[in-house]
Structure 1
Amino acid sequence: MYYSPTIVQLAGFASNKTALLLSLVTAGLNALGSIVSIYFIDRTGRKKLLLISLFGVAISLGLLAGVFHETTSHSPMVSRIQTSHFSNYTCPDYSSATNPGAWDCMKCLKASSPDCGFCASPTDKLLPGACLLSNDTVKDLCHDESRLWYTRGCPSKYGWLALVGLALYIIFFSPGMGTAPWIVNSEIYPLRFRGVCGGIAATANWISNLIVAQSFLSLTEAIGTSWTFLIFGVISVVGLLFVIVYVPETKGLPIEEIENMLETRSLHFRFWEKSQKPQEKKSQAV
């Protein structure tokens, strides 16, 4: 969510304005999901909502990983003819390459001495384009010829699927993982430790947010966007398993029963069944 505009550009949408507008849509979905959670949190239950959320998040991240794998594997080629049209601004790495015919858009964008960009074909952005130096002058020259200028991601016919994956991620994340953990966090601690434990949980949450925010772009550059989303998808699956095994269903339970349940380390694998109250267990035992 922090990098929605960047993800949109990585998906092949070159315009900054378009990327920002689409990121506003994801922000709206996030707000809508929070409102939806108000309705479902006490009807569906915390644990079930978390499981649905994490399952959807994992699927969405898997979709994003697949889409970005396709976009990087099938990016437009670099054309010598198109590049020679801007002969004074040819990417140095492309000029000195031993096999420039094998260069595609992604390889052009990975050039770093200096940074290079991809100027798409004027007739069709999916056709071979030019690999040029990345600066404002070249960007303006590219735009002057009604071409699209790419510096983050490459043009792709699968870009819209990345938007679908991003939207699904927000739709699944916001009502569940976006709100339910805070509610569960306020219910599971004994009164004498609630302040300290709540503070520890909030600190852990923001440290995790910081790690994601600081590592996302570095990971996309180091291992690629598809592998980055795949790693996050695996983490989501681990979180799903953790919720199944360790997180209790607290819907409709008094604080005393929640505390007793956690003290006895009761694991509720059947999250759809309401746990028995202590007095019910005693009556069954008799």
Structure 2
Amino acid sequence: MTIESMPGSSGYIEIGNRKITYFSNGYVLGLTVVAGIGGLLFGYDTGVISGALLYIRDEFEEVNQSHFLQETIVSMALVGAMIGAAIGGWVNDSYGRKKATLSADVVFALGSVVMAAAQNPYVLIFGRFLVGLGVGVASVTAPVYIAEASPTEIRGGLVSTNVLMITGGQFLSYLVNLAFTEVPGTWRWMLGVSAVPAILQFFLMLFLPESPRWLYLKKDKSKAIVVLSKIYDPYRLEEEINQLATTLEEERQRKSVVRYSDVFKVKEIRLAFFAGAGLQAFQQFTGINTVMYYSPTIVQMAGFRSNQLAILLSLIVAAVNAAGTVLGIYLIDHFGRRKLALSSLSGVIISLIILAVAFILEPSTSSVIGLYGWMAVVGLALYISFFAPGMGPVPWTVNSEIYPEAYRGMCGGMSATVNWISNLIVAQSFLSLADAVGTGWTFLILAVIAVAAFVFVIVFVPETKGLTFEEVERVWKERAWGGGYGREAFLEAGNEQ
């Protein structure tokens, strides 16, 4: 078996006469797209509430009079997602990625129906909690399922497809919001139609296999090999099976039950979890879902008072988000996870400063849309342009590949829980913080956090581009026990050739 690296490219390799690229295997791409519908649910839920909230306020006066109720309607889905992500890791490891996805679809569809039928804000809040549970489980499951079915050299791009589905779901939610602005029961339609992709994924998932790695290591080797044979050509299949056999033997030799406490007791796992969870926290604390949840509200704060105009301008922001994610799919396997995150954060810092300046200088009493109002909209678009290709996909991609097999579901669930907790804090506090210190100073605080995120990536996040799961595990062991920085540099140098 011969493996030749293609000159000047780290995004694909040539094995024999066959290049492994993003589009080279329709079977893998199909698995990715269907699993990625979980990301679509995630994105639609985060985006749709921003427009629906404008009309919920119109229907329920008590909501219109209370920022706390508005924040609770937005953030209750995050409470559900936090719990869903926490149990999602256990469900993934115990019952498999496929059953986890199916259960998430059922809960999400049920929550969508409850929201659409809600006769008061409190039933609506309960429905938001249910869809959050489904989104939380899906947020853990989809990246892991895709990563475990992906060839190493295109794993980043395929996992990033899930993030494209998230941003595509956000864009779709703004289109739906705009379409229903003149329809009776506006917000009910906006929230209710989200059941459709959940039902679609449920039925499509029935025809898809379980993750081959989970099957091999937890249940049925023969079924795993059948699935792997559809992913890899024969000369690559043997290599993959040998790696899985080695991993399985290592797990047997440990002869210990995997425990949550191990994440904090075992040094290499602790370092990996700190890097993964830190990326997830900074993804939220740099403000992405402040922008996505409250984009129309922010636009109205900038002076654009019309609900329809606010949603239309937010639609443009969501389109930039989706386009940026497409760019990220290409860059993440060519440019690398670490460099992409650092470049992204640099632009995020600049964009947040522009937003801060626009709101600080914009007269709060102005009834006319001025220079600073347009400056705020430009700042939003720039923010998304920089965030989407980097800090959008990188945390999810890194978390799908940095943990040992036995801990992948558990640590993935824990880090996703950190993401949702951070998301909840931001969503529940943004309007109140903007009231207390001003919108401009709120964005300035986010800019300072983005600087801290930049430093964090430099210090704690290694490059994992092009490494197998086993090589990534060795990187953490070497970081934990010394003598590894030279080896890591060698691996990184190999990636760059």
TM over 0.5: yes
Q: Deviations over 1:20-69 (max 9, x none)?
A: 10001111111111211111110110111111111111111111011111
Distance of 2:440 and 2:294 partners within structure 1: 15
Distance of 1:71 and 1:10 partners within structure 2: 10
Query: Residue 196 of structure 1 is aligned with which of 410, 424, 427?
Result: 410
Q: Does 1:5 align with 2:296?
A: yes
Give the gaps of 5 or more residues in structure 1: 76-104, 107-119, 126-154, 267-273, 281-286
Distance of 1:40 and 1:256 partners within structure 2: 23
Give the equivalent residue in structure 1 for 2:355: 64
Q: Does 1:183 align with 2:393?
A: no
- CA deviation after TM superposition for structure 1 residue 171, in Å: 0.8
Q: Which amino acid is 2:469 matched to?
A: I
Higher relative contact order (CA 8 A, sep 6+): 1
- CA deviation after TM superposition for structure 1 residue 2, in Å: 1.2
Distance of 2:452 and 2:458 partners within structure 1: 10
SS of residue in 1 equivalent to 2:339 = helix
- CA deviation after TM superposition for structure 1 residue 264, in Å: 2.2
Give the equivalent residue in structure 2 for 1:39: 330
Note the 1:261-280 alignment, pairs <5 A: 261-265=475-479, 275-277=489-491
Give the equivalent residue in structure 2 for 1:258: 472
Query: Residue 229 of structure 1 is aligned with which of 433, 438, 443?
Result: 443
Query: Residue 458 of structure 2 is aligned with which of 237, 244, 251?
Result: 244
SS of residue in 1 equivalent to 2:479 = coil
Query: Residue 209 of structure 1 is aligned with which of 416, 423, 427?
Result: 423
Aligned sequence identity (%): 60
- Relative to the length of structure 1, the TM-score reads 0.65
Distance of 1:57 and 1:157 partners within structure 2: 21
Q: How many residues align?
A: 195
- CA deviation after TM superposition for structure 1 residue 194, in Å: 0.9
Q: Which amino acid is 2:437 matched to?
A: I
Q: Does 1:171 align with 2:462?
A: no
| Over 3 Å off, 4+ runs | none
SS of residue in 2 equivalent to 1:50 = helix
C-alpha RMSD of matched pairs (Å): 1.8
- CA deviation after TM superposition for structure 1 residue 275, in Å: 2.6
- CA deviation after TM superposition for structure 1 residue 168, in Å: 0.7
Give the gaps of 5 or more residues in structure 2: 1-291, 481-487
Q: Which amino acid is 1:170 matched to?
A: I
Query: Residue 375 of structure 2 is aligned with which of 136, 144, 161?
Result: 161
Q: Does 1:21 align with 2:235?
A: no
Distance of 2:381 and 2:448 partners within structure 1: 19
Give the equivalent residue in structure 2 for 1:53: 344
- CA deviation after TM superposition for structure 1 residue 263, in Å: 1.8
Distance of 2:402 and 2:331 partners within structure 1: 19
- CA deviation after TM superposition for structure 1 residue 16, in Å: 1.8
Distance of 2:478 and 2:386 partners within structure 1: 32
- CA deviation after TM superposition for structure 1 residue 276, in Å: 0.6
Which is richer in helix? Answer: 2
